A and B are shown apart, each in its own frame.
Chain A
Amino acid sequence: MEIAAALKKALVLSLTLLVLGLSAQVSAQVDTFQFDTDEQQQRFRRLSDELRCPMCQNTNLTGSSGGTAEDLRREIHRMIMEGMTDQDIEQFMFDRYGDFIFYRPRLRAETVLLWFGPLIFLIIGGFVAYRIFRRARTLGEKPITLDESEQERLRALLGNKQKP
Protein backbone atom coordinates (compact mmCIF):
# COMPACT_ATOMS: atom_id res chain seq x y z
CA MET A 1 0.00 0.00 0.00
CA GLU A 2 2.73 2.42 0.96
CA ILE A 3 4.58 1.79 -2.27
CA ALA A 4 1.43 2.51 -4.27
CA ALA A 5 0.91 5.77 -2.40
CA ALA A 6 4.51 6.80 -2.95
CA LEU A 7 4.23 5.98 -6.66
CA LYS A 8 1.06 8.01 -6.90
CA LYS A 9 2.75 10.93 -5.19
CA ALA A 10 5.71 10.72 -7.55
CA LEU A 11 3.39 10.60 -10.55
CA VAL A 12 1.45 13.66 -9.42
CA LEU A 13 4.68 15.52 -8.73
CA SER A 14 6.22 14.74 -12.11
CA LEU A 15 3.01 15.66 -13.93
CA THR A 16 2.91 18.98 -12.09
CA LEU A 17 6.51 19.65 -13.01
CA LEU A 18 5.81 18.76 -16.62
CA VAL A 19 2.84 21.13 -16.81
CA LEU A 20 4.82 23.89 -15.13
CA GLY A 21 7.74 23.31 -17.46
CA LEU A 22 5.52 23.40 -20.53
CA SER A 23 3.77 26.59 -19.51
CA ALA A 24 7.10 28.23 -18.79
CA GLN A 25 8.24 27.27 -22.27
CA VAL A 26 5.09 28.64 -23.90
CA SER A 27 5.31 31.99 -22.14
CA ALA A 28 9.01 32.30 -22.96
CA GLN A 29 8.13 33.57 -26.47
CA VAL A 30 5.74 36.26 -25.28
CA ASP A 31 6.95 39.67 -24.17
CA THR A 32 5.41 40.94 -21.00
CA PHE A 33 4.48 44.54 -21.63
CA GLN A 34 2.57 46.48 -19.03
CA PHE A 35 -0.23 48.81 -20.11
CA ASP A 36 -2.31 51.28 -18.16
CA THR A 37 -5.53 50.59 -20.04
CA ASP A 38 -7.09 47.82 -22.09
CA GLU A 39 -7.38 50.25 -24.96
CA GLN A 40 -3.59 50.68 -25.04
CA GLN A 41 -3.16 46.93 -25.06
CA GLN A 42 -5.62 46.56 -27.92
CA ARG A 43 -3.80 49.23 -29.93
CA PHE A 44 -0.54 47.39 -29.30
CA ARG A 45 -2.10 44.16 -30.55
CA ARG A 46 -3.57 45.79 -33.63
CA LEU A 47 -0.30 47.54 -34.55
CA SER A 48 1.91 44.52 -34.09
CA ASP A 49 -0.60 42.40 -36.02
CA GLU A 50 -0.63 44.80 -38.96
CA LEU A 51 3.06 45.60 -39.16
CA ARG A 52 5.31 43.22 -40.99
CA CYS A 53 8.55 41.91 -39.55
CA PRO A 54 11.27 43.29 -41.84
CA MET A 55 13.74 40.50 -41.10
CA CYS A 56 11.58 37.40 -41.35
CA GLN A 57 9.32 38.26 -44.26
CA ASN A 58 5.72 37.07 -44.32
CA THR A 59 5.32 37.21 -40.56
CA ASN A 60 3.83 40.06 -38.61
CA LEU A 61 5.52 41.54 -35.57
CA THR A 62 3.25 39.56 -33.25
CA GLY A 63 4.19 36.24 -34.76
CA SER A 64 7.90 36.78 -35.09
CA SER A 65 10.56 35.86 -32.56
CA GLY A 66 13.27 37.64 -34.58
CA GLY A 67 15.47 40.22 -32.95
CA THR A 68 14.36 43.19 -35.01
CA ALA A 69 10.70 42.30 -34.44
CA GLU A 70 11.35 42.19 -30.71
CA ASP A 71 12.93 45.66 -30.86
CA LEU A 72 10.05 47.02 -32.90
CA ARG A 73 7.47 45.63 -30.47
CA ARG A 74 9.37 47.32 -27.65
CA GLU A 75 9.37 50.58 -29.60
CA ILE A 76 5.62 50.33 -30.23
CA HIS A 77 5.05 49.79 -26.53
CA ARG A 78 7.24 52.77 -25.68
CA MET A 79 5.45 55.03 -28.15
CA ILE A 80 1.99 53.97 -26.96
CA MET A 81 2.99 54.66 -23.37
CA GLU A 82 4.36 58.04 -24.41
CA GLY A 83 0.93 58.90 -25.75
CA MET A 84 1.68 58.83 -29.47
CA THR A 85 -1.27 58.17 -31.78
CA ASP A 86 -1.50 55.17 -34.11
CA GLN A 87 -0.83 57.52 -37.04
CA ASP A 88 2.35 58.79 -35.37
CA ILE A 89 3.55 55.25 -34.79
CA GLU A 90 2.77 54.17 -38.33
CA GLN A 91 4.62 57.23 -39.64
CA PHE A 92 7.60 56.33 -37.43
CA MET A 93 7.71 52.88 -39.01
CA PHE A 94 7.19 54.23 -42.52
CA ASP A 95 10.06 56.71 -42.14
CA ARG A 96 12.41 53.84 -41.36
CA TYR A 97 11.17 50.82 -43.26
CA GLY A 98 8.94 52.22 -46.00
CA ASP A 99 5.89 50.60 -47.54
CA PHE A 100 7.26 47.15 -46.84
CA ILE A 101 6.47 47.37 -43.13
CA PHE A 102 2.72 47.58 -43.75
CA TYR A 103 0.65 44.56 -44.62
CA ARG A 104 -1.84 47.14 -45.88
CA PRO A 105 0.38 49.56 -47.82
CA ARG A 106 -0.55 53.22 -48.00
CA LEU A 107 -2.14 54.54 -51.16
CA ARG A 108 0.68 56.44 -52.87
CA ALA A 109 1.94 56.94 -56.40
CA GLU A 110 4.26 53.94 -55.93
CA THR A 111 1.52 51.67 -54.64
CA VAL A 112 -1.36 52.64 -56.99
CA LEU A 113 -0.71 49.66 -59.24
CA LEU A 114 -0.67 47.35 -56.24
CA TRP A 115 -4.03 48.65 -55.06
CA PHE A 116 -5.84 49.02 -58.38
CA GLY A 117 -3.97 46.61 -60.69
CA PRO A 118 -6.44 43.77 -60.04
CA LEU A 119 -9.37 46.14 -60.63
CA ILE A 120 -7.88 47.23 -63.96
CA PHE A 121 -7.51 43.60 -65.02
CA LEU A 122 -11.09 42.92 -63.93
CA ILE A 123 -12.37 45.83 -66.03
CA ILE A 124 -10.40 44.70 -69.11
CA GLY A 125 -11.60 41.13 -68.65
CA GLY A 126 -15.19 42.25 -68.13
CA PHE A 127 -15.10 44.41 -71.25
CA VAL A 128 -13.74 41.55 -73.39
CA ALA A 129 -16.33 39.15 -71.99
CA TYR A 130 -19.12 41.66 -72.66
CA ARG A 131 -18.00 42.06 -76.27
CA ILE A 132 -17.90 38.32 -76.79
CA PHE A 133 -21.35 37.74 -75.29
CA ARG A 134 -22.89 40.63 -77.21
CA ARG A 135 -21.49 39.33 -80.47
CA ALA A 136 -22.72 35.83 -79.74
CA ARG A 137 -26.22 37.12 -79.02
CA THR A 138 -26.51 39.28 -82.16
CA LEU A 139 -25.30 36.32 -84.17
CA GLY A 140 -27.95 34.14 -82.57
CA GLU A 141 -30.76 36.62 -83.15
CA LYS A 142 -30.07 37.30 -86.81
CA PRO A 143 -31.70 34.80 -89.17
CA ILE A 144 -29.01 33.31 -91.36
CA THR A 145 -29.54 33.94 -95.03
CA LEU A 146 -27.34 32.64 -97.78
CA ASP A 147 -27.03 34.07 -101.24
CA GLU A 148 -26.76 32.05 -104.42
CA SER A 149 -23.04 31.36 -104.32
CA GLU A 150 -23.11 30.52 -100.64
CA GLN A 151 -25.96 28.07 -101.21
CA GLU A 152 -23.90 26.54 -103.95
CA ARG A 153 -20.86 26.17 -101.72
CA LEU A 154 -22.92 24.69 -98.90
CA ARG A 155 -24.33 22.11 -101.20
CA ALA A 156 -20.85 21.25 -102.43
CA LEU A 157 -19.54 20.94 -98.89
CA LEU A 158 -22.37 18.75 -97.74
CA GLY A 159 -21.73 16.78 -100.90
CA ASN A 160 -23.29 13.51 -101.80
CA LYS A 161 -24.85 12.82 -98.42
CA GLN A 162 -27.71 15.19 -99.30
CA LYS A 163 -28.69 13.17 -102.29
CA PRO A 164 -31.30 10.56 -101.71
Chain B
Amino acid sequence: MSTLTLGKALNTGLRKAMEDDPKVVLMGEDIGKLGGVFRITDGLQKDFGEARVVDTPLAEAGIVGTAVGLAMRGYKPVVEIQFDGFVFPAYNQIVTQVAKIHARSRGKLPMPITIRIPFGGGIGAVEHHSESPEAYFAHTTGLKVVAVSNPADAYWMLQQAIAHPDPVVFFEPKRRYWDKAEVDLDTAPPPLFSSRVVRAGDDVTLLAYGPMVKTALQAAEAAQGEGRSLEVIDLRTLSPLDLAPVEESVRRTGRCVVVHEAQTTLGLGAEIAARVSESCFHSLEAPVLRVGGYDVTYPPSKLEEEYLPDLDRVLEAVDRSLEF
Protein backbone atom coordinates (compact mmCIF):
# COMPACT_ATOMS: atom_id res chain seq x y z
CA MET B 1 0.00 0.00 0.00
CA SER B 2 1.16 3.50 -0.82
CA THR B 3 -0.50 6.81 -0.17
CA LEU B 4 -0.62 8.68 -3.45
CA THR B 5 -2.30 11.73 -4.87
CA LEU B 6 -4.33 11.04 -7.99
CA GLY B 7 -1.69 12.88 -10.02
CA LYS B 8 1.15 10.86 -8.54
CA ALA B 9 -0.82 7.66 -9.07
CA LEU B 10 -1.06 8.51 -12.78
CA ASN B 11 2.65 9.26 -12.86
CA THR B 12 3.43 5.96 -11.14
CA GLY B 13 1.10 4.10 -13.50
CA LEU B 14 2.79 5.66 -16.53
CA ARG B 15 6.19 4.70 -15.19
CA LYS B 16 5.04 1.12 -14.64
CA ALA B 17 3.54 0.91 -18.13
CA MET B 18 6.79 2.18 -19.66
CA GLU B 19 8.83 -0.33 -17.67
CA ASP B 20 6.52 -3.17 -18.67
CA ASP B 21 6.43 -2.40 -22.40
CA PRO B 22 9.26 -0.75 -24.34
CA LYS B 23 6.79 0.15 -27.10
CA VAL B 24 5.01 2.68 -24.87
CA VAL B 25 5.89 6.20 -26.03
CA LEU B 26 4.55 9.35 -24.37
CA MET B 27 3.91 12.46 -26.46
CA GLY B 28 2.54 15.86 -25.60
CA GLU B 29 3.18 19.51 -25.01
CA ASP B 30 5.54 20.33 -22.14
CA ILE B 31 5.58 16.74 -20.87
CA GLY B 32 9.38 16.36 -20.97
CA LYS B 33 11.57 18.70 -18.99
CA LEU B 34 8.61 20.39 -17.34
CA GLY B 35 6.86 17.11 -16.58
CA GLY B 36 3.56 18.42 -17.90
CA VAL B 37 1.63 21.44 -16.70
CA PHE B 38 0.11 19.20 -14.00
CA ARG B 39 3.39 17.27 -13.52
CA ILE B 40 1.75 13.97 -14.47
CA THR B 41 4.84 12.97 -16.48
CA ASP B 42 7.29 14.36 -13.93
CA GLY B 43 10.70 12.70 -14.11
CA LEU B 44 9.79 10.30 -16.90
CA GLN B 45 11.85 11.91 -19.66
CA LYS B 46 14.87 11.96 -17.37
CA ASP B 47 14.55 8.23 -16.79
CA PHE B 48 13.27 6.98 -20.15
CA GLY B 49 14.88 9.45 -22.57
CA GLU B 50 13.65 11.81 -25.24
CA ALA B 51 12.71 9.07 -27.69
CA ARG B 52 10.09 7.70 -25.28
CA VAL B 53 8.91 10.93 -23.66
CA VAL B 54 8.53 13.40 -26.48
CA ASP B 55 8.06 17.14 -26.08
CA THR B 56 6.09 17.81 -29.23
CA PRO B 57 5.55 20.92 -31.31
CA LEU B 58 2.47 22.83 -30.18
CA ALA B 59 -0.15 21.23 -32.40
CA GLU B 60 -2.71 18.75 -31.12
CA ALA B 61 -3.66 17.26 -34.51
CA GLY B 62 0.03 16.59 -34.99
CA ILE B 63 0.26 14.82 -31.64
CA VAL B 64 -2.62 12.48 -32.39
CA GLY B 65 -1.86 12.09 -36.11
CA THR B 66 1.73 11.05 -35.52
CA ALA B 67 0.53 8.73 -32.77
CA VAL B 68 -1.52 6.96 -35.46
CA GLY B 69 1.62 6.43 -37.53
CA LEU B 70 3.57 5.19 -34.52
CA ALA B 71 0.77 2.76 -33.72
CA MET B 72 0.95 1.46 -37.31
CA ARG B 73 4.61 0.78 -36.67
CA GLY B 74 3.81 -1.25 -33.54
CA TYR B 75 4.18 1.41 -30.87
CA LYS B 76 1.72 2.17 -28.08
CA PRO B 77 1.50 5.95 -27.96
CA VAL B 78 0.14 7.64 -24.86
CA VAL B 79 -0.61 11.25 -25.71
CA GLU B 80 -1.38 14.08 -23.34
CA ILE B 81 -3.82 16.76 -24.38
CA GLN B 82 -2.92 19.63 -22.10
CA PHE B 83 -6.49 20.71 -21.34
CA ASP B 84 -9.97 19.47 -22.30
CA GLY B 85 -10.72 22.51 -24.45
CA PHE B 86 -7.54 21.99 -26.48
CA VAL B 87 -8.54 18.60 -27.84
CA PHE B 88 -10.54 20.00 -30.71
CA PRO B 89 -7.70 20.67 -33.14
CA ALA B 90 -7.07 16.91 -32.80
CA TYR B 91 -10.74 16.03 -33.09
CA ASN B 92 -10.47 15.32 -36.80
CA GLN B 93 -7.66 12.82 -36.30
CA ILE B 94 -9.43 11.20 -33.34
CA VAL B 95 -12.82 10.85 -35.01
CA THR B 96 -11.92 10.25 -38.67
CA GLN B 97 -8.73 8.25 -38.18
CA VAL B 98 -8.06 6.84 -34.70
CA ALA B 99 -11.65 5.67 -34.32
CA LYS B 100 -12.03 4.24 -37.83
CA ILE B 101 -8.74 2.65 -38.83
CA HIS B 102 -9.45 -0.68 -37.14
CA ALA B 103 -12.70 -1.01 -39.05
CA ARG B 104 -11.20 0.36 -42.27
CA SER B 105 -8.45 -2.23 -42.13
CA ARG B 106 -10.69 -5.00 -40.81
CA GLY B 107 -8.39 -5.44 -37.87
CA LYS B 108 -5.10 -5.35 -39.75
CA LEU B 109 -4.19 -2.03 -38.13
CA PRO B 110 -5.06 -1.93 -34.44
CA MET B 111 -4.87 1.49 -32.80
CA PRO B 112 -3.65 0.97 -29.22
CA ILE B 113 -3.51 4.69 -28.50
CA THR B 114 -4.30 6.25 -25.14
CA ILE B 115 -5.42 9.87 -25.22
CA ARG B 116 -5.16 11.42 -21.77
CA ILE B 117 -7.32 14.48 -21.19
CA PRO B 118 -7.53 16.41 -17.91
CA PHE B 119 -11.17 17.47 -17.74
CA GLY B 120 -13.74 19.33 -15.73
CA GLY B 121 -13.93 22.60 -13.86
CA GLY B 122 -13.51 23.93 -10.37
CA ILE B 123 -9.96 25.21 -10.65
CA GLY B 124 -10.72 28.86 -11.36
CA ALA B 125 -9.28 28.78 -14.87
CA VAL B 126 -9.85 30.83 -18.00
CA GLU B 127 -11.90 29.67 -21.00
CA HIS B 128 -11.22 26.18 -22.51
CA HIS B 129 -9.62 24.87 -19.30
CA SER B 130 -12.67 23.54 -17.47
CA GLU B 131 -14.78 21.63 -19.94
CA SER B 132 -16.25 18.14 -20.01
CA PRO B 133 -16.23 16.99 -23.65
CA GLU B 134 -16.64 13.25 -22.93
CA ALA B 135 -19.96 12.85 -24.74
CA TYR B 136 -18.39 13.76 -28.10
CA PHE B 137 -16.02 10.84 -27.73
CA ALA B 138 -18.50 8.41 -26.20
CA HIS B 139 -20.71 9.11 -29.22
CA THR B 140 -17.89 8.15 -31.57
CA THR B 141 -17.88 4.52 -32.63
CA GLY B 142 -14.41 3.04 -32.53
CA LEU B 143 -13.27 4.81 -29.38
CA LYS B 144 -13.48 3.62 -25.82
CA VAL B 145 -13.84 6.20 -23.11
CA VAL B 146 -13.12 5.99 -19.41
CA ALA B 147 -12.99 8.49 -16.54
CA VAL B 148 -11.17 7.96 -13.27
CA SER B 149 -12.23 9.33 -9.92
CA ASN B 150 -9.62 8.22 -7.41
CA PRO B 151 -5.90 7.42 -7.08
CA ALA B 152 -6.25 3.63 -7.16
CA ASP B 153 -8.26 3.69 -10.38
CA ALA B 154 -5.87 6.29 -11.79
CA TYR B 155 -2.93 3.97 -11.23
CA TRP B 156 -4.57 0.80 -12.51
CA MET B 157 -6.93 2.04 -15.19
CA LEU B 158 -4.20 4.01 -16.93
CA GLN B 159 -2.06 0.89 -17.21
CA GLN B 160 -5.06 -1.12 -18.39
CA ALA B 161 -5.92 1.51 -20.99
CA ILE B 162 -2.36 1.54 -22.33
CA ALA B 163 -2.31 -2.25 -22.59
CA HIS B 164 -5.73 -2.35 -24.26
CA PRO B 165 -5.71 -2.99 -28.05
CA ASP B 166 -8.33 -0.33 -28.86
CA PRO B 167 -7.98 3.45 -28.62
CA VAL B 168 -8.97 4.74 -25.19
CA VAL B 169 -9.82 8.35 -24.37
CA PHE B 170 -8.79 8.63 -20.76
CA PHE B 171 -10.39 11.43 -18.77
CA GLU B 172 -8.63 12.66 -15.63
CA PRO B 173 -10.50 14.83 -13.11
CA LYS B 174 -8.05 17.71 -12.91
CA ARG B 175 -9.51 19.24 -9.76
CA ARG B 176 -8.95 15.92 -7.97
CA TYR B 177 -5.28 15.58 -9.01
CA TRP B 178 -4.24 16.52 -5.47
CA ASP B 179 -6.66 14.20 -3.63
CA LYS B 180 -4.84 11.49 -1.70
CA ALA B 181 -5.73 7.88 -1.02
CA GLU B 182 -4.22 4.51 -0.30
CA VAL B 183 -3.30 2.63 -3.46
CA ASP B 184 -2.71 -1.11 -3.46
CA LEU B 185 0.04 -1.46 -6.06
CA ASP B 186 -0.02 -5.26 -6.02
CA THR B 187 -3.55 -6.59 -6.04
CA ALA B 188 -5.03 -7.09 -9.49
CA PRO B 189 -7.68 -4.50 -10.30
CA PRO B 190 -11.22 -5.04 -11.61
CA PRO B 191 -11.59 -5.04 -15.41
CA LEU B 192 -11.11 -1.68 -17.16
CA PHE B 193 -14.59 -1.47 -18.65
CA SER B 194 -16.57 -2.05 -15.48
CA SER B 195 -18.56 0.21 -13.22
CA ARG B 196 -18.36 -0.22 -9.49
CA VAL B 197 -20.56 0.32 -6.45
CA VAL B 198 -18.54 2.62 -4.20
CA ARG B 199 -21.14 3.03 -1.47
CA ALA B 200 -24.03 0.70 -0.81
CA GLY B 201 -27.51 2.04 -0.16
CA ASP B 202 -31.21 1.25 -0.56
CA ASP B 203 -33.24 4.36 -1.34
CA VAL B 204 -31.79 5.99 -4.46
CA THR B 205 -29.10 4.96 -6.96
CA LEU B 206 -26.68 7.79 -7.62
CA LEU B 207 -24.47 7.53 -10.71
CA ALA B 208 -21.36 9.61 -11.26
CA TYR B 209 -17.92 9.49 -12.84
CA GLY B 210 -14.69 11.47 -12.71
CA PRO B 211 -14.77 14.49 -10.40
CA MET B 212 -18.45 14.05 -9.52
CA VAL B 213 -17.89 10.74 -7.71
CA LYS B 214 -16.51 12.60 -4.73
CA THR B 215 -19.45 14.99 -4.83
CA ALA B 216 -21.87 12.05 -5.00
CA LEU B 217 -20.20 10.39 -2.03
CA GLN B 218 -20.42 13.62 -0.03
CA ALA B 219 -24.09 13.85 -0.94
CA ALA B 220 -24.64 10.27 0.24
CA GLU B 221 -22.91 11.06 3.51
CA ALA B 222 -25.09 14.13 4.04
CA ALA B 223 -28.23 12.22 3.09
CA GLN B 224 -27.45 9.55 5.66
CA GLY B 225 -27.71 12.23 8.34
CA GLU B 226 -31.29 12.72 7.18
CA GLY B 227 -32.01 9.01 7.22
CA ARG B 228 -31.70 8.45 3.48
CA SER B 229 -29.58 5.66 2.13
CA LEU B 230 -28.00 6.43 -1.25
CA GLU B 231 -26.16 3.85 -3.33
CA VAL B 232 -23.31 5.46 -5.25
CA ILE B 233 -21.95 3.88 -8.42
CA ASP B 234 -18.77 5.08 -10.07
CA LEU B 235 -19.38 4.44 -13.77
CA ARG B 236 -15.63 4.44 -14.59
CA THR B 237 -16.32 3.44 -18.19
CA LEU B 238 -18.37 5.75 -20.42
CA SER B 239 -18.00 3.78 -23.63
CA PRO B 240 -18.80 0.98 -23.53
CA LEU B 241 -21.16 1.58 -20.62
CA ASP B 242 -21.32 -1.11 -17.96
CA LEU B 243 -24.90 -0.81 -16.75
CA ALA B 244 -25.37 -4.28 -15.21
CA PRO B 245 -24.49 -3.08 -11.69
CA VAL B 246 -26.64 0.00 -12.29
CA GLU B 247 -29.64 -2.07 -13.30
CA GLU B 248 -29.19 -4.41 -10.36
CA SER B 249 -29.15 -1.37 -8.08
CA VAL B 250 -32.09 0.44 -9.68
CA ARG B 251 -34.23 -2.69 -9.48
CA ARG B 252 -33.74 -2.51 -5.71
CA THR B 253 -34.04 1.25 -5.19
CA GLY B 254 -36.51 2.12 -7.95
CA ARG B 255 -34.87 5.49 -8.28
CA CYS B 256 -31.90 6.75 -10.25
CA VAL B 257 -30.08 10.08 -10.44
CA VAL B 258 -27.18 10.66 -12.84
CA VAL B 259 -24.62 13.36 -12.09
CA HIS B 260 -22.03 14.91 -14.40
CA GLU B 261 -20.38 18.27 -14.97
CA ALA B 262 -21.02 18.27 -18.70
CA GLN B 263 -24.00 20.18 -20.08
CA THR B 264 -27.14 18.16 -19.40
CA THR B 265 -28.63 18.06 -22.87
CA LEU B 266 -27.41 15.00 -24.79
CA GLY B 267 -24.86 14.28 -22.09
CA LEU B 268 -24.05 10.79 -20.81
CA GLY B 269 -27.00 11.12 -18.44
CA ALA B 270 -29.42 11.19 -21.36
CA GLU B 271 -28.17 7.88 -22.72
CA ILE B 272 -28.13 6.31 -19.29
CA ALA B 273 -31.65 7.53 -18.55
CA ALA B 274 -32.88 6.03 -21.81
CA ARG B 275 -31.26 2.68 -21.17
CA VAL B 276 -32.23 2.43 -17.51
CA SER B 277 -35.80 3.42 -18.37
CA GLU B 278 -35.92 0.62 -20.90
CA SER B 279 -34.27 -2.07 -18.81
CA CYS B 280 -35.78 -1.17 -15.42
CA PHE B 281 -39.14 0.21 -16.53
CA HIS B 282 -41.20 -1.91 -14.18
CA SER B 283 -38.98 -1.22 -11.18
CA LEU B 284 -38.82 2.56 -11.48
CA GLU B 285 -40.74 4.63 -8.93
CA ALA B 286 -39.61 7.90 -10.55
CA PRO B 287 -38.12 9.00 -13.84
CA VAL B 288 -34.36 8.89 -14.09
CA LEU B 289 -33.20 12.38 -13.17
CA ARG B 290 -30.13 14.21 -14.38
CA VAL B 291 -27.96 16.68 -12.54
CA GLY B 292 -25.48 18.34 -14.88
CA GLY B 293 -24.05 21.58 -16.03
CA TYR B 294 -26.49 24.10 -17.43
CA ASP B 295 -26.76 24.28 -21.21
CA VAL B 296 -24.66 27.40 -21.33
CA THR B 297 -21.16 28.26 -22.41
CA TYR B 298 -18.87 27.25 -19.57
CA PRO B 299 -19.00 30.40 -17.46
CA PRO B 300 -16.18 32.63 -16.22
CA SER B 301 -14.69 31.19 -13.07
CA LYS B 302 -16.51 33.53 -10.66
CA LEU B 303 -19.68 31.71 -11.71
CA GLU B 304 -18.44 28.16 -11.97
CA GLU B 305 -19.53 27.17 -8.47
CA GLU B 306 -23.05 28.08 -9.58
CA TYR B 307 -22.64 26.17 -12.83
CA LEU B 308 -21.15 22.96 -11.51
CA PRO B 309 -23.32 20.36 -9.78
CA ASP B 310 -22.55 20.31 -6.07
CA LEU B 311 -23.73 18.45 -3.02
CA ASP B 312 -26.86 20.55 -2.63
CA ARG B 313 -27.94 20.20 -6.25
CA VAL B 314 -27.44 16.46 -6.05
CA LEU B 315 -29.51 16.27 -2.85
CA GLU B 316 -32.21 18.43 -4.40
CA ALA B 317 -32.49 15.93 -7.25
CA VAL B 318 -32.56 13.06 -4.76
CA ASP B 319 -35.44 14.79 -2.99
CA ARG B 320 -37.30 15.22 -6.24
CA SER B 321 -36.82 11.56 -7.06
CA LEU B 322 -38.06 10.46 -3.64
CA GLU B 323 -41.07 12.79 -3.76
CA PHE B 324 -42.14 11.66 -7.19
Q: Real complex partners, A and B?
A: no
Q: Which residues of B are in contact with A by a Cβ distance under 8 Å?
A: none
Show the binding face of A for B, using Cβ within 8 Å: none
